[in-house]
Amino acid sequence: MEKIKPRNFFDRMQALDRRYIYLVVALSIILPLIIPFNSKTYVTEPTENVYKKIDSYAGRKDRAILMCFSHDASTMAELFPMEVAILRHCFERKIPVFTICFMPAAKPLMDYAIMTAKEDYNVQSGIDYLSFGYKPYGLFLPILLGMGDDISEAVETDDQGRKIDSLPIMKEIRNYNEMNLVIDFAASAAVYSWIIYARAKFGVNVAAGITAVMAADNYPYLQTGQLTGMLSGLKGAAEYEKLVDIFATHRDENGNIASREFSKEILKETWIKLSDIQDRRYKTARIGMNAQTVAHVMIIVFILLGNVGYFVTRKKDIEPTG
């Protein structure tokens, strides 16, 4: 009769019900969210470049950025915080900003992002910002190419059905020469269309706010300079939130807003305690990164345990039983 091998720790780990792993992952996310700590957010160069580019338009009426929302609610966790952070940056530094989407499901997210960001600012649609609204995807290329000549002809009406050429925000903005930065927020290869059409044909600066899944695919475009900058996933959003807090919404000793220019030295020296930021909407990504840190450690531990277990049990199987 065959003897049953004694089950050691690794045997048990190999046969562990996957639902226990789900439970541990859930706990490793829930606990850091409830008991927050200050994990350090290092700002990477692609994020810095997006921030610097947008900030270079501060206070100018003849420069604007276009934010294209190309995602639905399934990737909101990663992309929404970066959209809010960029809108806050624009509202704070008086940078004209346009928004557009070509997916029906992106429309409510676009409206929600604008609503969330503008709560603390006295900004008006048509003057400080403008939502072009939802446009059918069939018009994506005609609009993308048409904006190279004349935005008001290509887009015609805004979110509220107003003719955009009569709006104050359009006074000094005609085409990509003025609206010189396009940021596409996507969980897909949507940014690629902006690179190959808008960038190649009109030389417009293109940046990407993308989910982490898409980041590796977009690095070649970043490395070749076809992307001005890139925010990758929740980490990119956390980095941008930090930059906005340190520079755009910086406060002086009296608590008044005193925006300042980007500086590597200031960035290096400044330490922001998350508990000092009262509004949770403005630190969503950074709180999330706390949980991300713990979850990653857990996953690394699982991978190590799984591999050690695999090799131990394999070695045992190969060894001849006396």
Partner 1 sequence: MSFELISNTIAAILTLCIFSFLYKDNPFYKFAESLFIGVSMGYAIPLVYENAFIPFVWTPIFVEHRLIILIPTIMGIFYIFRFTKNLSWLSRFPIVFGMAIVGMGVPMSIHGSVLVQMRSAMLPLDNINTVLIFIGTVTILMYFFFSKEHKGLYGKITNVGVWFMMIGFGASFGYTVMARISLLIGRIQFLVGDWLGLIK
Residues forming contacts to partner 1 in the complex (CB under 8 A) are 19, 22, 25-26, 29-30, 33-34, 36, 74-78, 104-105, 107-108, 133-136, 138, 141, 157, 192, 195-197, 199-201, 211-213, 215-217, 220-221, 223-226, 232-235, 275, 280, 284, 287-288, 291-292, 295-296, 299
Separation between Cα atoms, residue 125 and residue 111, nearest integer Å:
12
Q: Which is nearer to partner 1, 4 or 34 (CB)?
A: 34
Separation between Cα atoms, residue 173 and residue 168, nearest integer Å:
10
Q: Which is nearer to partner 1, 248 or 291 (CB)?
A: 291
Provide the minimum distance between the beta carbon of 200 and partner 1 in the complex, in angstroms, as a whole number.
5
Q: Is the Cβ–Cβ distance between 55 and 181 less than 8 Å?
A: no
Separation between Cα atoms, residue 10 and residue 59, nearest integer Å:
62
Provide the minimum distance between the beta carbon of 59 and partner 1 in the complex, in angstroms, as a whole number.
33
Q: Which is nearer to partner 1, 225 or 322 (CB)?
A: 225
Provide the minimum distance between the beta carbon of 96 and partner 1 in the complex, in angstroms, as a whole number.
24
Q: Which is nearer to partner 1, 96 or 209 (CB)?
A: 209
Q: Which is nearer to partner 1, 94 or 108 (CB)?
A: 108
Q: Is the Cβ–Cβ distance between 95 and 53 less than 8 Å?
A: no
Provide the minimum distance between the beta carbon of 172 and partner 1 in the complex, in angstroms, as a whole number.
27
275: left (phi over 0), alpha (psi -120 to 50) or beta: alpha
SS3 content of the chain, % helix, strand, coil (to 5): 55, 10, 35
Provide the minimum distance between the beta carbon of 107 and partner 1 in the complex, in angstroms, as a whole number.
6
Q: Which is nearer to partner 1, 91 or 140 (CB)?
A: 140
Backbone angles phi, psi at 58, to 5 degrees: -55, 130
Backbone angles phi, psi at 44, to 5 degrees: -90, 165
Cα 108 to chain center, whole Å?
A: 17
Provide the minimum distance between the beta carbon of 321 and partner 1 in the complex, in angstroms, as a whole number.
35
